[in-house]
Chain A
Amino acid sequence: MKQQISSIAAEKKGEWKLFIFLTVFLFPILATVSVFGYGFIMWMSNILFGLPGHS
């Protein structure tokens, strides 16, 4: 029983650790990188296909 409880506690701890890692580090960094990646693609497409026109 105690083994089960301590392993459950360890699992719970692991899940929380991962949750924090994902929400604070991984996804924010991925989001920032993809936004600037999007900007980079727009920049290159401006060079290839011309600057944005009158909208």
Chain B
Amino acid sequence: MKKIFSMIARFWGVFNKPSKHISLGIVTCGAFLAGIIFWGGFNTALEATNTEEFCISCHSMKENNYQEIQKTIHWSNRSGVRATCPDCHVPHKWSDKIAAKARASKDVFGWLLGTVDTKEKFESKRLHLAQNEWARFKANGSLECRNCHDYKSMDFAKMSQRGAIQMRKAAERDQSCVDCHKGIAHELPEMDDSANSALAKMSQDLDGSSYETGKSYYSLVQTPLYADDSATDYLGVLSPATQFTVIDESNGRLKIELVTWHKAKGYGRVLYFDFAKNIVQATLSKEASQDESLFVRGDKKEDDLTGLPWEQVTFTLWVDKKGFEESLQNIWDYAKEAYQTTCSVCHTQPAEAHFDANTWVGMFAGMQGFVNLDGDTHDVILKYLQSHSSDYDKANH
């Protein structure tokens, strides 16, 4: 110990004074050369961690992502231009590259602790890993894609018709590639609806609420309907954002009253919000829609546009006592945001009151193929649009 202290003291003595015996030229030249050697070595080592061989030296990468990319166009194509791991996953800008290397220290821990060293463990983390990368691409506008792909260099005439239409729009907005092209290189994670659906989460948060008899509530998700509190007879599905009144409670289930209209032709299985309005409140089985013990008939009216007879029917049904919303506005707030984010990716979205309620059905159906909505969000956005359509929002028409 003492020896080390005395050595440090001696070194400090020499360090802190001008060089006595080594010339300035030698010191500076030697330091310069050492710097070059160091920086060269440092960068070589750093770039070695930016190669495909290094990335797939981890079993989890080799077995999963490296296998998946081999089925895609980024691996093999007509022109033979291929992407390797760092081309997309390591930022090219030096400062961001170094930040990525620091962030990657977490992966070293993962490797040491075997966090994703089996297929099952990897699959359980796939969504999390994917979301990290999606966040990076979203923030920098898919900068790494643009290392090779440039909107200005795209020949739209060479694309498929559908492709050219979409790509021209994307080029106009200089859109982030990964907004649409998720899963281009590796398998998409399984989007678990129950974990992902915001409406299911909202409903889960309200689980365990108490419901007052005679008060109205709104469904958040597609809800099964039963004939009684034993839930042995399944009658159909209650759509999200449907209003019902609680009449009774028993055996962990609620007895509800649904005021609806149906078409008096055929089975009348679909229950609507209002006369001549194609806003779905619930859909029932053939038997249930004909079971007089379940409903009470009201007014009858004929729709001039279609010549169809409509009938008001008030149903009494049972649902599981789950999370239901007291405030319809909470559901509309969610729907509005979902509408704005989902439906403005490729074009400016139309104002809600631009169409009437029945027209929205067709418009919405035509767009479904371009987006990836879970069933509940799909239903709620449509209902939101219909409820704020020109039929109901006269001011903004």
Same complex: yes
Q: Which residues of A contact B (CB under 8 A)?
A: 8, 11-12, 14-16, 18-19, 21-24, 27-28, 31-32, 35-36, 38-40, 42-43, 46, 50-55
A50 contact set on B, CB distance < 8 A? 139
Residues in B neighbouring A21, C-beta threshold 8 A: 11
Taking CB atoms, residues of chain B closer than 8 Å to A11 are 14, 20-21
Q: Which 9 pairs from chain A and chain B are nearest by CB?
A: A39-B102, A42-B99, A54-B141, A51-B139, A23-B34, A39-B98, A12-B21, A43-B102, A40-B102
Q: Return chain B residues, CB-CB under 8 Å to A31.
A: 38, 42
A50–B99 alpha-carbon span in the complex (Å): 13
Interface size class of B (residues with CB under 8 A): 20 to 34
Collect the chain A residues with CB atoms within 8 Å of residue B100's CB: 39
Taking the closest CB of chain A, its distance from the CB of B94, in whole angstroms, is 10
Chain A residues near B109 (CB, 8 Å)? none
- Does the CB pair B42–A23 fall under 8 Å? no
A50 to B96, CA, bound (A): 12
Chain B residues contacting A23 (CB-CB under 8 Å) are 30-31, 34
Asked, given contacts A23-B30, A54-B140, whether A42 binds B21 with beta carbons under 8 Å apart, the answer is no
Question: Which of B15, B38, B101, B135 contacts A51 (CB under 8 A)?
Answer: B135
A30–B27 alpha-carbon span in the complex (Å): 19
The closest CB in chain B to the CB of A9 belongs to B21
- Whether the Cβ atoms of A19 and B42 lie closer than 8 Å is no
- B34 near A16 with CB under 8 A, answer no
Among A15, A19, A54, the residue within 8 A (CB) of B143 is A54
Give 29 CB contacts A-B under 8 Å: A11-B14, A12-B20, A12-B21, A12-B22, A14-B10, A14-B14, A15-B21, A16-B22, A18-B11, A19-B27, A22-B15, A23-B34, A27-B38, A31-B42, A35-B42, A36-B101, A39-B98, A39-B100, A39-B101, A39-B102, A40-B102, A42-B95, A42-B98, A42-B102, A43-B103, A52-B140, A54-B141, A54-B143, A55-B143
* Contact partner, B140, options A14, A28, A53, Cβ 8 Å: A53
Query: Which listed residue (A12, A18, A53) contacts B139, Cβ 8 A?
Result: A53
Known interface pairs A15-B22, A19-B22, A39-B101. Does A52 touch B96 (Cβ–Cβ under 8 Å)?
yes
A-B contact count (CB 8 A): 81
B19 at the interface (CB under 8 A from A): yes
> Would you give the 0/1 interface string for B18-32, flagging 1 where the beta carbon is closer than 8 Å to chain A?
011110000100110
Would you give the 0/1 interface string for B339-358, flagging 1 where the beta carbon is closer than 8 Å to chain A? 00000000000000000000
Chain A residues lying within 8 Å of B15, measured Cβ to Cβ, are 18, 22
A residues near B22, Cβ cutoff 8 Å? 12, 15-16, 19
Report Cα–Cα, A5/B295, bound state, in Å.
Answer: 116
Q: What mask results when residues 83 to 110 of chain B are scored 1 for a CB within 8 Å of chain A, else 0? A: 0000000010101101111110000000
Contacts of A51 in B (CB 8 A): 135-136, 139-140
Distance A36 CA – B30 CA, assembled complex (angstroms): 25
- The answer to whether residues A24 and B34 also contact, given A38-B98, A39-B99, A46-B99 and a CB cut-off of 8 A, is yes
User: Nearest A residue to B97 by beta-carbon distance?
Assistant: A39
A53, B141: Cβ atoms under 8 Å?
yes
Shortest beta-carbon distance, A42 to chain B, in Å? 3
Most chain A C-beta atoms within 10 Å of own C-beta, residue among B14, B38, B102, B139: B102
Q: A32 to B38, alpha carbons, bound, how many Å?
A: 9
**Shortest distance between the CB of A4 and any CB in chain B (Å):** 13
